[in-house]
Amino acid sequence: MIRYFLIFLIGLGTLCAQEQLPFAKEVKEIEQHTRSIWDQSKETIVFTGSSSIRFWKDIQERFPRQQVLNTGFGGSQFSDLALYLDELILDYRPVKVFIYEGDNDIFSKKRPRNILKTAQKILGQLQQKSPGMEIVLISAKPSISRWKFRGKYRRLNRKLEKLAHETEGIDFVDVWYPMLDKRKVKQDIFVEDGLHMNKKGYDIWYDVIKDYVQ
């Protein structure tokens, strides 16, 4: 009887731990939606990461020749993505994945070198589980609301670019400088919060990223 009670407690503890994972509910909803539209017979490209990906609502329409899945989850950091590599990327067997993380990491006052370590861990796991998959890191973007952190964002971008350059199968796409007007961030490419982009902002992203998709 005691043994069964202990098994029950262990199972309950495991269930509670799963429920306490950050973004668990949101990821489950994303997974259910994505599976409902995913055509397994077609090659797949996945875009994932934080809210700049999540709010890119017309991403499939912009790349009509490819099957593109958007598994972005708002507010996420590299450490959050690391918890859901199967649900958000690997389960769809993509030929290529675009990752946008780091924006919220810097805002949460994480050091660029520590962010890089988490990114390296993620890339290592992805390449181990899916050796032929291409991975594209999207640089952190500038924004009006987080402009005061620009120095840290640039340091992170340099580290991510160096990591991609030194790692086979990894590319780096820079959206930072195309979003600038000389030395300041463009003012007309964001919605009211000064953080998330409007159509003009995504037009810039499309122009920069399209060659990496096709």
Pairing of strands 134-138, 67-70: unpaired
For residue 137, list its beta bridge partners: 99, 172
Q: Which tokens is 196 given?
A: 């998330």
One digit per residue, pLDDT tens: the chain, 214 residues?
A: 555 444 444 554 544 444 589 999 999 999 999 999 999 999 999 999 999 999 999 999 999 999 999 999 999 999 999 999 999 999 999 999 999 999 999 999 999 999 999 999 999 999 999 999 999 999 999 999 999 999 999 999 999 999 999 999 999 999 999 999 999 999 999 999 999 999 999 999 999 999 999 8
How far does the chain reach from its first CA to its final CA, in angstroms? 61
pLDDT in tens, 107-149: 999 999 999 999 999 999 999 999 999 999 999 999 999 999 9
What domains are defined for the chain? 21-213 (3.40.50.1110)
Cβ–Cβ under 8 Å, residues 136 and 96: yes
Pairing of strands 67-70, 44-49: parallel
Q: What is the pLDDT of residue 20?
A: 81
CA atoms within 13 A on the CB side of 186: 19
Q: How many CB atoms lie within 10 A of CB 153?
A: 23
Q: What is the pLDDT of residue 116?
A: 97
Q: What is the C-alpha separation between 72 and 54, in angstroms, rounded?
A: 4
Cβ–Cβ under 8 Å, residues 52 and 197: yes
Cβ–Cβ under 8 Å, residues 176 and 153: yes
Q: What is the pTM of this model?
A: 0.90
Average pLDDT of the chain to the nearest whole number = 93
